[in-house]
Amino acid sequence: MSRKISVLLIVFILIGSVIAGCSNQTASDTKDTKSTKDTLIIGVPDAPVYMDPQIQASVATYRVTTQIFDRLVALDNNMKIVPALAESWEVENPTTTLFHLRKGVKFHNGEEMKAEDVKFSLERAIKNEGVNYNYLIIKDIIIVDDYTIKIVTKQPFNALLYRLTLDAASIVSKKAATNDKDFNAHPVGTGPYKFVSWDLGGDVVLEANPDYYRGAPKVKKLIFKHIPEAINRSISLETGEIDLAYDLATTDLKKVKSNKNLKLEETTSTTEYYLGFNTQKPILDDVRVRKAIAYALKPQDIIDIVFNGIATPARNTMLAPNLFGYTPETVKYDYNLDKAKSLLAEAGHPNGFKTTLWVPDTQILKSAAEVVQGQLSKIGIDVQVKMMQSGAFYSSTGKGEHDMFFMTKTSIDPDSMLRAIYHSEAFGLSGNRSFWATKEVDAKLDRASVTTDSNEAKQLYAEVQKTVADQLPVIPIAIEHLNAGMQSTVKGFNLYPGKTHSIYGTYFEK
């Protein structure tokens, strides 16, 4: 790879931050080890919404599709960018990067992956408003030959390689996606596992790709089993019904650790839980109301009740501490009911008001919303919690049909997080469900994404965080800790901070 990389990109690489939807290329150190079992059953809290990675960003979807598809580049277990479908690349000039593709890589339909598939896939991502905010910076994609392609950005962009690790940048078969009107139900990628079946709202079955360019997976069959309740995932793990369980309840972790037949993996993440407001709606469009709500909340209580104390306070920023530009508590909202009531009265609501709080059908989010509901009742705000199927939630909130909402967002770099939450170009499905933005914040985010001066970028991100902490289109609550429980015979599994864990390299051992 060329050494002509911007100073800021080097900073981001050293930070080693991650995102939900980032490709995780797990290194396999078990090349000579055969698996003693052919099928791995994984208990997951949320059913995937789609099988097509370029419709809508979703952790539940990407936990499955990251097994089916590859991207040009990936993040290894140390969160460093490594080659994937592109075996090498060089930066020709500040806006042009040349990628050299691997030869002989086969899609699951037997067709060879070539530059036309890459161009088609990335242009497809650019066109889809559910994921395109990450790729609007791309000006052109030029095919040089079957195995060489150029990506040209509208201006210098220091996070391009990271954006190409996202599952939304998955390389799909042009032939399959063009000819199959229901590609979402019959996904075709180059990944280590091939699609077999999908029970909508339920289980997904995948089988090993014997022609995978990195070598066939050791486990021949994967079943992603939808088990919404954390307690039921723990029970299924204990009884041996499943081999691996994602996102166990924090109250069950000690029990798993003490079971000699099980083991537990844990790591920190960059996933933020946050409360958001549709600022297009009357009442919530008043910053005094949003500040009143902030003063009425006790984030630590949410952490203690919902996460059993195992989470990190967000400190009023949507950036996790290990992300470049992290600037906490530029504005503080210490618990103060008198201040909250005073602000509500000043805004014309001395007796409070009624509103709805929308959440996807995830138990943790529902529990967090119910704690918020109880806390806001103390200042007269009557909150109705409305839990929805995840696909309906993302679609409806993307259209602005909601009042308040509670959800999560995971990030790789400050631009991917702050742009999705606060930039006008990300209104709706692309991530800005508060529909709040200012020209000043837009301009600062745009400038920060192109400058090669890391000090300037850090200052710009700090200024943005101060502005949004004052205006509160969203209220950051907590940073998630990740875990996975598994049978003691499961080896080679790596818990990925970006939540889309790769199964490649996982196997069973007696």
Provide the whole-model pTM: 0.76
Q: How far is Cα 108 from Cα 189, in angstroms, rounded to an integer?
A: 6
Integer-rounded Cα Rg, in Å, for the chain is 23
Smallest Cα–Cα separation from 161: which of 58, 53, 84, 102? 84
Burial class (CB in 10 A: 0-12, 13-18, 19+), 169: buried
> What is the CATH superfamily name and number for domain 270-480?
Dipeptide-binding Protein; Domain 3 (3.10.105.10)
Whether 327 contacts 401, CB under 8 Å = no
Show the DSSP H helices in 54-107 as ranges. 59-68
Q: How far is Cα 173 from Cα 385, in angstroms, rounded to an integer?
A: 41
Q: What is the DSSP string of 144-176?
A: EETTEEEEEESS--TTHHHHTTBGGG----HHH
Residue 333 has pLDDT above 90, yes or no: yes
Grouping H, G, I as helix, E, B as strand and the rest as coil, residue 180 is coil
Residue 9 has pLDDT above 50, yes or no: no
Determine the length of the chain. Answer: 510
Both structure tokens of 242:
């499943």
Q: What's the mean pLDDT in 30-53?
A: 83
Whether 483 contacts 191, CB under 8 Å = no
Q: How far is Cα 106 from Cα 70, in angstroms, rounded to an integer?
A: 11
Grouping H, G, I as helix, E, B as strand and the rest as coil, residue 497 is coil
Residue 84 has pLDDT above 70, yes or no: yes
> What is the CATH superfamily name and number for domain 7-261+488-508?
Periplasmic binding protein-like II (3.40.190.10)
Both structure tokens of 59:
């952790």
Q: What are phi and psi of 421, to 5 degrees?
A: -90, -30
State what percent of residues in the chain have pLDDT above 70: 93
Residue-level pLDDT at 295: 98
Dihedral sign of CA atoms 284, 286, 287, 293 in order: negative
Confidence bin at 495 (pLDDT 50/70/90): confident
Instruction: Dump pLDDT digits (tens) for 422-471.
Output: 999 999 988 999 999 999 999 999 999 888 788 999 999 999 999 999 99
Q: What are phi and psi of 84, to 5 degrees?
A: -135, -105
Domain extents in the chain? 7-261+488-508, 270-480
Q: What's the mean pLDDT in 360-374?
A: 94
Task: Give the 3-state secondary structure of 339-359.
Answer: HHHHHHHHCCCCCCEEEEEEE
Whether 339 contacts 386, CB under 8 Å = no
Residue 13 has pLDDT above 50, yes or no: no
Grouping H, G, I as helix, E, B as strand and the rest as coil, residue 471 is helix
Looking at residue 97, the DSSP 8-state letter turns out to be E
Mean pLDDT estimate for the chain: 91
Q: What are phi and psi of 423, to 5 degrees?
A: -90, 145
What are the distances in angstroms from CA 334 to CA 4, 370, 448? Answer: 46, 20, 30
Beta bridge partners of 24: 75
Grouping H, G, I as helix, E, B as strand and the rest as coil, residue 216 is coil
CA atoms within 13 A on the CB side of 272: 26
Confidence bin at 78 (pLDDT 50/70/90): low
Which one has a higher pLDDT value, 141 or 230? 141
Grouping H, G, I as helix, E, B as strand and the rest as coil, residue 229 is coil
Start-to-end CA span in the chain (Å): 41
Q: Which residues of 429-451 are buried (b: 16+ CB within 10 A; e: fewer)?
A: bbbbbbbbbeeebbebbbebbbb
Both structure tokens of 325:
């530009």
Smallest Cα–Cα separation from 433: which of 464, 415, 406? 406
